[in-house]
Structure 1
Amino acid sequence: MTIDISGVAFTLLFQKALYKPDEELLIIADVHLGKASHFRKNGISLPSSAQQGDYDNLRSLFDLVQPKKVYFLGDLFHSSLNDDWHNFCDLVAAYKHIQFTLVRGNHDLINGSKFHDICVAVVDTIEDELFIYSHEPLNNVAAGKVNVVGHIHPGVVLSGMGRQSVKLPCFYMQEQLMILPAFGVLTGLYSMDQNKASHVYLVLSDSVRRL
């Protein structure tokens, strides 16, 4: 699904990522790599294969979209350095033609020098004429600009007959804020409130649809 944000076309991907064609820019939030390793380290048993899906999904998406640039909007890793780092290094090495930038999030505890060593830039925000990319929503956004963020893990609960319900990830936009769904396999969802000012785009298994 393609939508217009401040006069610029963006594609909402059912792979839970945002694509900006004019820059060949792929935007991904909240992958939380290494979360399975972090849980195991803290006594919570998860198989080592639990997070392999994230790497498979990233590779598939890079191959499909063929971006020149990728922004990770925070929480790329779930915690401090662990065995998953080597898997990420292998991923980056396989896509040397892509310019990777990490917009640091609250879970990104790995020293920036480690990223610089593998040619991944680390910043707090990225700002251009129309957009400000950050992990968490900013308190003050200049008039005419849109803040593109992650962090929230937005979702919407849909209710059906017989008290049945399902919670789905979504892209959520309201006024000067666009919130991306969490990309990672091992992430939860936060139920978003809907109002007249909000625009909700549901992420389905093979498409994105406006609610």
Structure 2
Amino acid sequence: RAEHSTLRITLIRGNHDKRAGDPPAYLGIDVVPEPLALGPFALQHEPDPHPDLHVLAGHVHPVYRLHGRGRQSLRLACFYLGRQVSLLPAFGEFTGGFQIRPAPDSTIYVTGGDAVWRVA
């Protein structure tokens, strides 16, 4: 945090944050309840539709499974873009993930390394 002390960070409370409590004040992180309106978006932890804004949510930790020609497969973090709600990927060793299946009106982008690919 010391290396980027001028960077403004806002934490939208989620299920883990309720149990853990707010971060220490010396970290300089603003903590807000959901939703946080930002332009045409409602930034939320939970993927519940908003009456007026497109939701960007983080709770689900979406992943998409790619299948090869043999029996190989690869589970990758993904962005899921829906009509009213979009899901943001989680990055980390302990985040788990919920396997997403594309809906007819959705788009899925997987991430790997420093690249992003549209897969559905």
TM-score (norm 1): 0.51
Gaps of 5+ in 2: none
RMSD: 1.7
Determine which structure has the larger helix proportion and give its number. Answer: 1
The aligned counterpart of 1:68 is none
Give the Cα–Cα distance (whole angstroms) in 2 for the partners of residues 128 and 181 of structure 1: 19
Secondary structure of residue in 2 paired with 1:121: strand
Secondary structure of residue in 2 paired with 1:163: coil
Secondary structure of residue in 2 paired with 1:162: coil
Cα 1:118–1:162 change in 2 (3 A) is: closer
Residue by residue over 1:68-109, the C-alpha shift from the partner in whole angstroms, topping out at 9 and shown as x without a partner, is xxxxxxxxxxxxxxxxxxxxxxxx233111111111111112
CA contact (8 A) 1:115 1:121 kept: no
The aligned counterpart of 2:77 is 169
1:107 to 16, 36, 45: 16
2:91 to 167, 183, 201: 183
TM-score (norm 2): 0.86
CA contact (8 A) 1:172 1:198 kept: yes
Question: Structure 1: which amino acid aligns with 2:63?
Answer: G
Residue by residue over 1:145-192, the C-alpha shift from the partner in whole angstroms, topping out at 9 and shown as x without a partner, is 211111111111111222221111111110021211102232222110
The aligned counterpart of 1:70 is none
Q: Give the number of aligned pairs.
A: 117
Q: Using CA pairs below 8 Å that are at least 6 residues apart, which structure has the higher relative contact order?
A: 1
Identical positions, percent: 35
1:209 to 110, 114, 117: 117
CA contact (8 A) 2:58 2:87 kept: yes
2:5 to 81, 96, 99: 96
CA contact (8 A) 2:12 2:31 kept: yes
Give the Cα–Cα distance (whole angstroms) in 2 for the partners of residues 111 and 185 of structure 1: 22
Cα 1:199–1:122 change in 2 (3 A) is: same
The aligned counterpart of 1:131 is 41
Secondary structure of residue in 1 paired with 2:25: helix
Cα 1:115–1:102 change in 2 (3 A) is: farther
The aligned counterpart of 1:118 is 27
Determine which structure has the larger strand proportion and give its number. Answer: 2
Give the Cα–Cα distance (whole angstroms) in 2 for the partners of residues 147 and 115 of structure 1: 28
Secondary structure of residue in 2 paired with 1:181: coil
Cα 1:195–1:110 change in 2 (3 A) is: closer
CA contact (8 A) 1:116 1:122 kept: no
